[in-house]
Amino acid sequence: MEQFKGKSAFQGIAIGKIAEMVKDSKVVRREHVEDAEAEIKRYHEAKDRAITELQGLYDKALKEVGETHAQIFEVHQMMLEDDDYNDSIENIIKSQLVNAEYAVATTGDNFAETFAAMEDDYMRARSADVKDISERVITDLSGGQGTGNVFTEPVILVADDLAPSETVQLDKSKVLAFVTREGSTNSHTAILARTMNIPALVQVPVPKDVEGKMGIVDGFTGTVYIDPDEDTLTKYQMQQDKEKEKKALLAELKGKDTVTKSGRKIKLYGNIGGVGDVGFVLENDAAGIGLFRSEFLYLQSDGYPTEEEQFKAYRTVAEMMAGKEVVIRTLDIGADKQIDYFNLDHEANPALGFRAIRICLDRVDVFKTQLRALYRASAFGNIDIMLPMITSVWEVEKSKEIMKEVRDDLSAHQIPFKDVPVGVMIETPAAVMIADELAELVDFFSIGTNDLTQYTEAIDRQNQKIERYFNPHHPAVLREIQMTIDAGHRHNTWVGICGELGADPTLTETFIKMGIDELSMSPSSILPVRKIIREMD
């Protein structure tokens, strides 16, 4: 048995035969041409057909994974229209009197190498994109349709890397998981894989001679096993069987209330990162969305998302949830979530630095753009606005002043919106200690247990060296949760939990006894937690 470690792009377990991704092995030859203009025309005709193909891929991805994730195919279309890219190809054809295939391949290689050498993760990920568009045009110029990958049985797909277009075209019924030797967890391919619910690992040094061998992908630990021994195989088969049994039993809970035997009803909501995740929320029968991480709209973009782009995303989610509550957290970047185009200064201790609400109150224009989109979208569903990283009363008061300015401007222009509930995240000890004052200003609290634990215990949760000291069950954290619930209820403010502890089955009963009103978690945890609550007295 061989074992290889990489990075997890999406969790899950897969067991099956391994298949190597078949790439088009066509050799691009350099050929002399007499008529450069005719060759350039031939290139542009192939490029136009490639753009049409990409539009078809965009339409397919839009249906399967939502607008945010489909946008990569719009990016590919724009890359094919890029002046520098086209000028390079035309110049090679004219100056060297060579065939279009060779000019495209050379340009694609040059641009890909340039992107790959950049320090920025996002730009490095574009290396695979420029290779993808170049190969598409070359295939068309050569009169081919691409080799495709057709499998007679479900397989674990292994490749050096996967372009976004290759990922979205995969037959999900025939792919158990995919493993790449290169790639980034921040690439569009990784994002698409997570949304398509396919277990995925990147940066795994899998050897080339694995075709047809038995494999196991453990997306929880980022490990691939090749030709596993009987004990390992049995262990993972048993784990899979247990998961299947649990899912079958839990499926019977769909459509049933989340209520204790004594009649206490709890709201079970789902956490999402974008439009493409709503399907999982609906599939797992969540009562609403308790945390829409709006920063993912920014993380997946190479520039500030416009008001219209954000409005479309928020409106789509609100409409898909059909009147169910959708709590949208305002921009929460900084600390471990960095975005290059924000040009944030390097900080020695970013977890305690310029992040979340602090950025929004400093860059009011960015904040107002998001708030306008949120208020406009509120006319199409049941949206709540939630402010992250609150430590002081004045931060809430200032945020509400800005919200009023936005509402007044929308009213002046006769743009419809609703009276949107406003809440805050309780994720600092400071917020806990002033919870009574905060409750007088807002409609709800949502406890972010990840950061609350970090700040309470003075532990950087990104630091692996002190991971064993990070204890979300610490008595101090649980007491802070109880204090927050009590303060909220004293002021008729409902209180929920949206951090990882919300899905911790060992604490579900404790939270219910504390008086929690709502628990929000990854969609896959909703039915297991519902089962626990329904069995409680």
DSSP-assigned letter for residue 280: H
DSSP string, 41-101: HHHHHHHHHHHHHHHHHHHHHHHHH-HHHHHHHHHHHHHHT-HHHHHHHHHHHHHHTB-HH
Using the structure block, give the residue that is written with the tokens 């929308």.
410
Cα-Cα-Cα-Cα torsion 94, 96, 100, 102, nearest 10 degrees, comes to -160
Q: Is 255 exposed, middle or buried (0-12, 13-18, 19+ CB in 10 A)?
A: exposed
Which among 69, 76, 360, 498 is annotated as catalytic? 498
Determine whether 188 is an active site residue: yes
Pair type for strands 214-218 and 288-293: unpaired
Edge-to-edge strand list for the sheet holding 175-180 = 2-5, 223-226, 214-218, 13-20, 155-159, 175-180, 200-202, 7-10
Other C-beta atoms closer than 10 Å to the C-beta of 15 total: 20
Please give the Cα distance from 39 to 46 (Å, whole number).
11
Can 498 be counted among the known catalytic residues? yes
User: C-alpha distances in angstroms, 318 versus 275, 298, 329?
Assistant: 10, 19, 14
Helix (H, G, I), strand (E, B) or coil at 490: helix
Which of 188, 346, 489, 491 is labelled catalytic?
188
Residue in this structure with the two tokens 């298949």, named with its chain if needed: 19
* Residues designated catalytic: 188, 498
